[in-house]
Amino acid sequence: MQKIITLSLSTFCVMLTTLLFLPEAKAQVGGRGTYDFLNIAVSPRVAALGGNALPINDNDVQLTAFNPALINQAMHNQFSLSYVDYYADLGFSNVQYGRNFGNLGNFVGGLHYYNYGTFDYADEAGNRTNTFNAADYVLSLGWGRQLDSNFSIGANAKFAASQYESYNSFGLAVDVAGTYLSKTGWLFSLTARNIGSELKSYLPGEASTMPFSMQLGVSKRLDHVPFRLILIYDHLQKWDLTYDDPIDLKGRIDPITGVKSELNGAEKFADQLMRHFILGGEFYIGKGLVLRGSYNYKRRQEMQIPDKLAMVGFAWGVGVKISKFQINYSRSTFHVVGSPNYISISTDFDSFKK
């Protein structure tokens, strides 16, 4: 991504953040902390099912980056590699590996890389003089333990780093989670993500907070239909997630009086409530093929253009098992301008020994 840069650091950071977090930018004017890239889903399965902490206990090592309570002994020697073709030529990737260490518990290590491309320096006359890069990195270590047949707990420790030109920032964050599996097969999951702070800021001053959030999820593999239902309540820590759009794309402001029409009490409550929910599901076709899809009401309300609704807020994906490899692909529609592509390949190294 070639750009001519003659801007101040603050202006550059605002532009980069807006491009990177296009799906979040409208809802988070002014920011909610630093390191919001910690909330970007790189796993195709996570992206296809809403881009959040999933309550699914089928030993998928990719899900543990958002929900460490899913880490278990069956992930021993599992390996996963993912890549996201984001907007413009931004590219994100991660690698994860699971390992069991006996009494110490089960661990998943991960390396996440967010590449924003190459930028050009330029002087006042517009002459290009040099180039620089911008990127974020996350090194994570997750731990999980099965307490009994119903309860499991887990935690992720994450070291995050940002490098924009000559400016650097470092921080630490922790995720904690717990799951409960009922006798009837309902799985409940509670997560608290990104508890932490910066250790070193881009500029001298007070350290910024992390983008803390809490999620409550529930899923059920239906008994007589090859389908898994998933429902997530996001942002437990905050009720009102609405965004007052100054552009007024929905035409709620009277052009003569300047008075904005407001929703009535029931409509306002329903709108605020629905912004917390993500609905998803998986349909299993045989033993080697899975179709996935989800709907995110909050994303649709924030990112839609009223006269071009398209599929904003929806995501879909497919998973196929070929020999000893699980391949996943998905697309998530953030905006009518396009949808990022997600792809991953996973395997169990122990399967090659059998």
DSSP string, 149-190: SSEEEEEEEEEEEEEETTEEEEEEEEEEEEEEE-TTSEEEEE
pLDDT in tens, 5-23: 444 443 344 334 444 444 4
3-state helix, strand, coil in the chain (%, to 5): 15, 45, 35
Give yes or no for residue 31 having a pLDDT over 50: no
User: Which pLDDT value is given to residue 123?
Assistant: 81
pLDDT-derived band of residue 120, with 50, 70 and 90 as boundaries? confident
Return the SS3 of 31.
Answer: coil
pLDDT in tens, 145-193: 999 999 999 999 999 999 988 889 999 999 999 999 999 999 999 999 9
Q: What is the 3-state secondary structure (H, E, C) of 290-317?
A: EEEEEEEHHHHHHHCECCECCCCCEEEE
Q: Which residue has the tokens 């840069």?
A: 5
Q: Which residue has the tokens 């518990």?
A: 105
**In the numeric block, which tokens belong to residue 183?**
């006798």
Q: Which residues contact 58 (CB under 8 A, 6 or more apart)?
A: none
Q: Residue 303: which of 38, 121, 87 has the closest Cα? A: 87
CA distances from 186 to 155, 228, 269 (A): 22, 10, 28
pLDDT in tens, 203-252: 877 777 889 999 999 999 999 999 999 999 999 999 999 877 666 666 66
pLDDT-derived band of residue 53, with 50, 70 and 90 as boundaries? very high
User: Which pLDDT value is given to residue 25?
Assistant: 38
Q: Which residue has the tokens 């008994």?
A: 223
Of the listed ranges 90-94, 119-123, 135-139, the least confidently predicted one is 119-123
The type of residue at 17 is T
Give yes or no for residue 2 having a pLDDT over 50: no
The type of residue at 134 is A
The type of residue at 139 is L
Give yes or no for residue 140 having a pLDDT over 70: yes
